[in-house]
Amino acid sequence: MKKPELEQTDYAALLGDVKERVRAAQYAALKAVNRELVGLYWDIGKAIVERQAGASWGKAVVENLSKDLRAEFPGIQGFSTQNLWYMRQFYETYKDNEKLQPMVGEIGWAHNILIFSKCKDDLEREFYLRMTRKYGWTKNVLALRIDNRDYEKTLLSQTNFDRAVPEELRNEAKLAVRDEYLFDVRCANDAVSLIQVRTNPEGGSWVNQLT
């Protein structure tokens, strides 16, 4: 017996809703697993740093730890010697930065490795952490963006310091732009404050903050 057209339409809507709910649950589960994994790697990195600081342990401890962990957990990947060194570097990079610590759990481990190993300072790291989280960049896209120097190009596209700002003020002005343009998130629509260099009618120049 053929189902009435209305019932078929209702069923299609039901099926669509359930599919979306399943996908949302899968995504939420993956995010939770990722946070736990990154948290585990943070704890391992911290343990290595603290043990090496408090005892006369050299590089051999990392190799031994890798060997023993892989023997104990043969089905779990991620305990190679190289990855343990990455965990150590990961903790060292962010241990004193409470602002960035919550962000690292929101992106994948491979993304984190690219950011903390290739970026020169915390401002650049925050830029790529935010962009990866916001746009869902894959590892390959993130690597391309870093190699393409998107961070530096973003700053250059928003400023004109070399021509408009006196040399003695350039460093302070650039720091202000990085703080305000990239990282001062305001309002519900995630608006970002911009700092723009303007030339005044008398021929001088100043940095004027816009919102």
CA 196 to CA 184: how far, in whole Å?
Answer: 15
Q: Based on the domain organization, do 107 and 153 belong to the same domain?
A: yes
Same domain (yes/no): 53, 107: no
Tell me, yes or no, whether 61 and 1 share the same domain.
yes
On whether the CB atoms of residues 86 and 117 are closer than 8 A, the answer is yes
Considering the domain architecture, whether residues 77 and 20 belong to the same structural domain is answered as: yes
- Residue of 159 and 61 predicted with greater confidence: 61
Same-domain status, 83 and 143: no
Indicate whether 71 and 131 sit together in one domain: no
Q: Are residues 10 and 52 in the same domain?
A: yes
Residue 112 has pLDDT above 50, yes or no: yes
Same domain, yes or no: 46 and 119: no
C-alpha angle 148/150/151, rounded to 5°? Answer: 135
- Write out the residue range of the structural domain in which residue 45 sits: 1-95
- Of 62-76, 149-163, 181-195, the one with minimum mean pLDDT is 181-195
- What band does 147 get if pLDDT is binned at 50, 70 and 90? very high
> Does position 199 have pLDDT exceeding 50, yes or no?
no
Residues 186 and 123 in one domain: no
Q: Domain tally for the chain? A: 3
pLDDT band at 168 (very low <50, low <70, confident <90, very high): low
